[in-house]
Structure 1
């Protein structure tokens, strides 16, 4: 009874060592791996499982007649399944080599079982590689159980070994342990695959968002150019006005080019250069750009500027912010209305409040404002305009505050730190 109890405890310790080393090796590998490599190399598999086989033999329990009981078959099986045929052959030699120093009748059994198991794994593993992971776990667990049966049958027939209780303990622990270790390996493998798929999906999402964002930002200046060209076409006999409109149209094309350059710079990012900006000039410039759309929608624009200081930022990006907010305000007033821009200063902050008399938003919509692809324009909007506003304002050290009520309009307040001294 004492021998059988020691056998059971020894096998459980053997299982614990295998589980710990499998987890440690996989965690180390996952922390070092590249995103395009989902498994360890053959050499790593061989070394890891060779060490596990050696440790298992050192932890083995000998009953009598030179027969050793341990779980060395588990790392041998794992190496053969996941490491490939070369690893399988190397581990087969290891299985026999580590058993030689102990000699006894069990050595003959080890050699025979190792040869038979190697042949079975050699042909069985490729056939099961395309099966669902659960099927693989079940089949190889059954294979481990068959291995344990042979481990008793051969000694019983040729060496008069009749310790059936030892066999039951060994067979039960080996079978359950094989299932646990294979299940753990498959879970780790599945986690790696899902992680790689997640990274790939995120990359595709970034590309999709970037493409949609570029389209959105380019559409604004192109809409302005189209509006100005229509105004020129309506009154071709007014050269002075048309010259000014042409200059603005050309300038908008230059701005579209700058937007493209800005997004292309994502591939090779560089430190952003901030300059001192005259907010009055930037607001008036944005008003001139957006005015054709306001006239088309029957919207009147009023600008009241009361600030005295400048801010730090990028002129082109600040114009993107103003144009996006002004454009959204105009499009919220389908039947016309008033768009008011007011600037003032509070506690070293320059605030620009842009108010429209449009359809307004619910509190839930206000909360979601700035999320990618969240738009109140239906299929006509991408939701990227306000997302860009929040990002650009934040990059300049500013904040965006939105106040809105349904059918009572919306006020968007942009706040920036002023340049002092």
Structure 2
């Protein structure tokens, strides 16, 4: 028997409805005390299934997605979480996700370094460790690359990626969009032709986007440091897709993975970086990333006015790499394992060559390929110009299109690892 509530009203019978049908109890209904000292039984719960939807009670009264609570950005979570909290008398300040919402079950588990999280944001190629590359990113990428697309696990089901591009992009945007889609996420965003940097302050725009339930922000900015500015005010992971002449860390990841796949190693390589080394962010990031490996030699092939930045050179020197500046690619073509050609900015190179006493050689032609060892590889971040003519594409040493294809799987692995570490940090 149920006793009256504290206000003295008799307890209504809730076992049947007016039509005589059995009534299912509601978690938000008033709680009545039993005459015995035994507390009322708690509802029986089942943990969320693989799709991330939780089911309450034997009849499955509610079945709602609660990934917003997993992300931990909406306080008490969805309507079901508020009802469960009320029924079980959970304190408002106690995160409900700690006892109810497990982290999404991902096949790719994140790894943290001794200094903290590796993937809070993806901003700088120097944030990645050699151990993380060799034990996490490269094996995960290889596994994804060897898995048919129709058998891929939807590790990002329910996730949302928003891209914000202030500069045009083909490979970076499309590969990220395809990577997220293949793993079950949804993608939307704003392209460069739809906005201008002067329209709105970057930090304000990022704060507005954080008010919407996004899980990743992919940003390409036209000025160096834009991604760091966005990350300083963002509560969700920011991925740097290129910030002016600064860095392009995900390009460096796919470049390093390509070398690892093509040559089988990253230690002891001789690498020629060719072209505009002052304003090309891809060479900056690749130099920072490869500096963690041993016995490297870098040949910097560029005009004097477009030589590599001093801070990047100093970083390579401190890491123990050998550096040599040359003006003619043919002079070192027979001694290198990798030629990394950058996109030629015609007006900039022409201006730089006016101040050179001798004409340099910054293109890959038949003479360079004749001197290049058979095991060597030629990489290019694309799009290309006259520095890498298309008539040599049949040469197996030209790996720029395999390099671009690897970008899809590297970014799939990166998003999965980023989601796994974000989920672990929320628990």
Structure having greater relative contact order (Cα 8 Å, sep ≥ 6):
2
Q: Under a length normalisation based on structure 1, what TM-score does the superposition of the two structures give?
A: 0.25
The structure with the larger Rg is 1
Judging by fraction of residues, say which structure has more helix: 1
Q: Under a length normalisation based on structure 2, what TM-score does the superposition of the two structures give?
A: 0.24
